[in-house]
Amino acid sequence: MRDGGRRVARGLGAALALAALAGAVCAPAAAQSAPSAAADSVTVQAAEPDGVRQRAAALVAEMSTAEQASSIVMGHIGGTDPEALRAYMQSGLGGFILMGGNIPATESELRTLTAALTVDPALPPLIAVDQEGGVVSRLPWDAYAASSTLKNAPVDETAGAFAARGALVARAGITVDFGTVADVPADPGSFIFARALGVDPQAAADRTAAATDAQEEFLASTLKHFPGHGAAPGDSHHAIPSTSITKAQWRAADGVPFAAGIEAGASLLMYGHLAYTAVDSRPASLSAEWHRIAREELGFEGVAVTDDLGMLLSSGDPAYADPVANGVAAVAAGNDLVLMIAGSDAQTASRMAAGIAAAVDAGTLPAERLADAATRVLALRLQLSAATASWAVCSDCTPAG
């Protein structure tokens, strides 16, 4: 992970700063919709410990191929029954994504639910949510500023809003936020426009870096949707948007916020189902070249995750009609974590894992690629489970100033 050591030096300071500000999580406007949390605390994650990747690699080496495959699948089922969700996670999945139908009425109930997802306390799964705020907001008690206003506000307001949002998400027991939209849509008609943090590359980059830096004190943040929806018109929920701009043009424009977020230390990079045809005719989520660019040219060292692979099915392109084949192709391209929600059921994640393991056994997916993906995911899980500080949320705070 890039610049991982900064968390040890700054994590406790950021936590204390937020507690002192008292407006970050306990501002009156937020308190109206957020439950009282006088005894609740947020854990501030430590920097990646020395040797954590080596430890992860050693654990992966002891796993079977099937276990490695399960560890790189982030699953999903609906409902808010903690026991049902715990039973679902018994198969050894590496993560779970919470959607709107998983969010109970209160924050305390959500904490019970997220706790149930952890089968092995020594190695908690990645528990993720799409909590951008505003248009995409799974937690109804998140009243902090979102992109609709932040894109026109000073950068420090983005930092404050995402620090508060990151703390709110983390105290619910969620460790990954797919929440930072680094796309640069200049067209107000774009489906992603209302969710983006800026309408030009530098403004988006400044806010992307600020949001990343703020969230990473509390959880693993994610940049999405690499390499960017701005240049490729269309909605990837229903099609595979494409653009013919060159890599040089991308690097000077749509790539700028992603480079800034990577430099700021984002833990995950989410690959979009969109094609920059001058670079690769395939969607970036299935493109080895876009993974190479992120790793070798932008210096990304964290976990590469697909956008929902179910969206490829929704595109209607017959080349992507097999969800398991899409999962195998995604891992082969360089993704470390595969995610499928749309069109899935309680068996989908297990089928995906079985298909990935079968591809390794058949020699069509290199065993080394699976082991590398599992090691990256496991290293992040180990890192997130190592806490160094916490701060309490008061129930009757007043904003500073």
Q: Specify the DSSP element, H or E, that contains 149.
A: helix 147-150
Q: What count of other Cβ atoms lies within 10 Å of the Cβ of residue 185?
A: 24
Catalytic residue chosen out of the listed positions 3, 200, 235, 237: 237
- CA angle 232/237/239 to nearest 5° reads 55
Burial of 36 (0-12, 13-18, 19+ CB in 10 A): middle
State how far the Cα of 334 lies from the Cα of 339, in Å rounded to an integer: 14
* Nearest to 270, CA basis, from 314, 232, 305: 305
166: helix, coil or strand? Answer: helix
CA neighbours closer than 13 Å in the CB half-sphere of residue 287: 25
Q: Specify the DSSP element, H or E, that contains 103.
A: none
Q: 99: which 2 tokens?
A: 């959607």
Q: Is 76 a catalytic residue?
A: no
CB 72 within 8 A of CB 94: yes
State how far the Cα of 314 lies from the Cα of 239, in Å rounded to an integer: 7
Q: Is 235 a catalytic residue?
A: no
End-to-end Cα separation, the chain, in angstroms: 36
Catalytic residue chosen out of the listed positions 213, 307, 308, 336: 307
100 conformational bin, left if phi > 0, alpha if psi -120 to 50, beta if neither = alpha
CB 286 within 8 A of CB 329: yes
Place of tokens 């699948």: 73
Which residues are identified as catalytic?
Answer: 237, 307
